[in-house]
Structure 1
Amino acid sequence: MKFSANLGFLWTDRPLAEAIHAAKAAGFDAVECHWPYDEPVAEVRAALEETGLPMLGLNTRRGDTAAGENGLAALPGREAEARAAIDEALAYARAIGAANVHVMAGFASGAEADAAFVANLSYACEAAHPHGITVLIEPLNHYDAPGYYLATTGHARAVIEAVGAPNLKLMFDCYHVQLMEGDLTNRLKRLLPIIGHIQFAGVPDRGAPDRGEVDFSYMFKVIDALGWAAPMGAEYKPGGPTEDTLGWFTLTR
């Protein structure tokens, strides 16, 4: 099994380049991040080259965070901003060799939001395809992100089918899926053909995965048995120094 350190939550007390080195020292196989846009591309790329860690992915900007926005791609009338955010994310991903871009939907609902999301994802997939980049969409639970456009794997599957692009995949975050739908084992099996990345955290508090209601020692074995070979993303809130929360990690090696 391989694991990716999500540097949106882990080692956030240091610049991204330093966090990449910390992930390497801890034994992670890859890294991923949220919004790296204020970090110098050259420094991030150098850290990835020095450590040999692949950057699995990053997110599009959320929009006006002061106003509480959490993505733009499903917001009717905001297509120009959404596509600018997609262009920016793809450019940064190309510059550092990131494999995936998570296009964030935002808070929206209804037919107009459906149309906006499908159109913007089609734009993203077409722009990403020549560079071998996969576009990801992720359902977020309604406890942490009430009103987020995409909340269930069923909705995500319907969107993926509507877009019909081979490089559009589901980001299956065990934390969000467990809170909204449960039945992780069967959902993973059914959705495996459209999954582009798997993430995890303890449920229900999004802490380290060796606590809470989900037995990740079991889930990791299930995922391994399914033939999943890519690194899985540790996207949890450590609640203190990251190094103090890695007991789960060493037990799985």
Structure 2
Amino acid sequence: MCPSTAMIGHAAFGTGPMPLYERYHDGGLAEYVRVPASHVDPLPDNVSFDVGAKLHDLGNAVRALRQTGMPASGRLVITAATGTMGTASIKFARFFGARELVLVGRSDSRLEALRPLAGGLPVKTVALEDLPGWEEDGSLTRRLVELLPQGADAVLDFFPSGPGSAQAMAALGTGGALVHMGGNTSMLPFSIRDMMHHCWRFVGTRSCTKKDTDLVLNLLASGQVTADDLITHRFPLSRLAEAMVVTGSRKEPIWMAIVHPDAA
């Protein structure tokens, strides 16, 4: 959240001087990696290195949930729910005020597999394959309003493109918030007056803070949350090219993937 924000081994996003990134930029596929001691998070004994590799994905989900300001009614919609951020958000939703989930994804089969992640919360699903023409006719909004007649209290929006973000936002109740972390370049069809009239909030979030990852580690250490089941794909380094194709295409169900440094 600072002017020199960056991810070691990934990218620099800041607008100011980047001394940390210039000095510490080698990523996890390097043979040796040097990092600032202040950036090291000791893993609890019950947390695997595999889960540790996904700590910041989990932290991103926690930050997004914190930004919703969920009221007691806790009606939460999660779009693109079958991806990395969607599944992580489902895992942690109950700790941040969610009391009812509506999950939006491409198919019934992929959505049904998510129910065990909700930790006992009531779950409803919306499969886009069952809404032909939804991009043009607004039927995603109508379906969400059917499921939540009082409107959603919050939407966690991970749509990377298209009209889904706007249609989900249109299903918000008065005072609701849409938190977006999908990188959607589509324009919202709402005027500022519309936002004012409905008392809606739009919150953009792109990463997480140390406070968010500390919360994740505390929940994992206490056993209140487990995350090993979120990792559906593991690749050795020798199959890195294949891993990039699989994770990029999403043709098969994939939640989280990791690359191991061994060549087995």
Q: What TM-score do the two structures reach when normalised by structure 2?
A: 0.29
Normalized per residue, the structure richer in helix is 1
Normalized per residue, the structure richer in strand is 2
Q: What TM-score do the two structures reach when normalised by structure 1?
A: 0.30
Larger Rg: 2
